[in-house]
Structures are given as C-alpha cells and as structure tokens.
Amino acid sequence: MRERILTHGAETLADYELLEVLLFYAIPRRDTNPQAKALLSAFGSIGKLLQASSARLEQHGLSERIMSLLELPVLAARSLMESDEDMPLQLGNAKALMNYLKGTLQRTDEPAIGLICLDSNNGLIMEKLLPAASNLHALHRSIAQTLLNCHATAAIVVYYRPRSPATALAPEVRGLRQALRSLDVIVHEGILIGEGWYVSMSESGLL
C-alpha cells in the first residue's frame, strides 16, 4: 500500500483503503482491512465516519487512540478552510453552513450553544461557544459585545445536541434578533443540530 501511494498517489485509493492506512498508524502490525470495511459498512462513507461523535465511535469498539487519529483529517480540513485571512470561509449557502456545523458537532459530545459571527459577505469571522445551560435573554449584553468587538454584521445561533425542541428555543433567538437590531446586526438563522439531523428555525416558520 505504501509503495502504491508513493508511486501513484493517495487519490488512487478507495475509501476503505484510505481508512485502512489511517487505522494502521493506530493499530500497527495488524491487518486493518476487515475493520476498515466493517466501519464503512456501518457508517456509510468515510466522511460520515470521520464526523461521527466520540460516543457513536465508542459503540463500534474504537479506542481513544483510534478516535484521536480519526479527528486529525477533519481538523486539518477545517484549519485549511479557515486559514486564508484574505478569503474567509463563506457560510452564505446551506451546504457550506451545514458542512461547517458538522465539523463543530463532531467535537462536541455535550449540548452547546454556538454564536457564529459573520461579516457583510457572510464570511466566517469566528464562532464563540456559549454556556449550554444559558438562556440567551441573559446574555444579550455579552453577545452584543462579542459581535461589536469582531466587527460582525450578522450572526447565526446554533444549538448543538439540544435537549429542548425548536419551538421552546425560538423565542430566545427572536428576542436576540430584536435586541441586536439597534446595533445593525442581523440574526440570520437559528439552527438545532444533532447526529444525523437538524432543524432550521427560519425554514420551520419560527423566526
């Protein structure tokens, strides 16, 4: 496999072969082919496997060492997307936004609230994670300060692995949207996202 990569490049490998190579570095001196094929069969694709939560990976018998190794490609890809200061990550379309959110979701095993700060072109400035048990009504001042400090003109509120339904959380987002209008900051969206599902508050008519 090593000679094949050196001669023809990693792009010639099938998904199970790429995964086999990754697993080899976590499980040396063992044939990782059967495990690679079993994992792809269980998760459906290498992309879904790499973005799965630690809890789900543990259910399939993966050790801490293997899970840490599988995080590296996702972190590297995310860093590459965010590294060009002249070309910030654009989150203006649904596909780009969902890809970004799945990356954050992969690193959060517990409920969390994300405040995504955007520029006037819907380019990502930063994401700040807020206390998961918070009520947004009590955080209006600190949220406003965060947005002003990074010169954001828009924001998206994201509930990662929420324990409450969208109908219960939407009033918080509507209240924040109203509070930020005086600062000329627009709250574009409120999103709930978990493993394999998401809810858009705007698409659901809740905003």
pLDDT digits (tens, 9 = 90+) for 27-83: 777 788 888 888 888 888 877 787 777 778 888 888 888 888 887 776 666 665 555
**Do the Cβ atoms of 88 and 123 come closer than 8 Å?**
yes
Q: What pLDDT is recorded for position 44?
A: 86
Tokens of 154: 């828009």
When pLDDT is cut at 50, 70 and 90, the band that residue 9 belongs to is: low
Q: What pLDDT is recorded for position 69?
A: 80
CA–CA dist 115, 126 (Å, integer): 8
pTM (global) more than 0.75:
no
Nearest one of 116, 107, 104 to 154, comparing CA atoms: 116
Helix (H, G, I), strand (E, B) or coil at 133: coil
Average pLDDT over residues 114-142: 88
108's CB contacts (< 8 A; 6+ apart) are: 129, 160, 161
CA–CA dist 199, 179 (Å, integer): 23
Q: What pLDDT is recorded for position 175?
A: 95
pLDDT(84) > 80: no
When pLDDT is cut at 50, 70 and 90, the band that residue 1 belongs to is: low
Q: What pLDDT is recorded for position 191?
A: 95
CA–CA dist 6, 146 (Å, integer): 47
CA–CA dist 98, 101 (Å, integer): 5
- Selected residue with higher pLDDT from 168 and 103: 168
Q: What pLDDT is recorded for position 4?
A: 61
pLDDT in tens, 136-195: 888 999 999 999 999 999 999 999 999 899 999 999 999 999 999 999 999 999 999 998
- Selected residue with higher pLDDT from 138 and 92: 138
> How would you class 108 by CB atoms within 10 Å of its CB: exposed for 0-12, middle for 13-18, buried for 19 or more?
middle
Tokens of 110: 């517990």
Helix (H, G, I), strand (E, B) or coil at 200: strand
Nearest one of 72, 180, 78, 192 to 132, comparing CA atoms: 192
Cα of first residue to Cα of last residue in the chain, in angstroms, is: 52
Average pLDDT over residues 81-104: 72
pLDDT(3) > 70: no
Torsion angle, alpha carbons of 9, 10, 12, 18, to 10: 160
